[in-house]
Amino acid sequence: MPTKRTQQIHAYKLDLTKIDGKGDFLCPQCGTKISPDDESEESYSILEAKVNSHSLEEVTICCNTCASQIRLTGFAFIQKLSEMDKKESKYEKEVRGYITHI
């Protein structure tokens, strides 16, 4: 009877608030570039997305090159930053509008 070999799956956790750039990062196992702009899922596949009542909490993806699983965290903090930017942008528009009417 032939023996079955099990493949070891590498699992990693990556906090998106700790990376530079616009969300691109390298797979910790094989170095494949993983980009949120890759909608074709050529370099990775989404395995699971966890959400709470307010926002996205965590996404687990699989690198299509080496089959490593990567848990992406930090979405709540990124969403808060995005909301702060929107508030600041709204305030700047109000200030500019006020100044132009003087």
pLDDT 10s digits, 7-32 = 788 999 999 888 888 889 999 999 99
Average pLDDT, the chain: 81
Alpha-carbon span 25 to 5, nearest angstrom: 31
Dihedrals phi, psi of 15, to nearest 5 degrees = -90, 115
Give the pTM.
Answer: 0.69
Q: Is the pLDDT of residue 72 over 90?
A: yes
| Strand blocks (E) in the chain | 11-15, 25-26, 33-34, 44-51, 56-63, 69-73
Instruction: Check if the beta carbon of residue 69 is closer than 8 Å to that of residue 10.
Output: yes
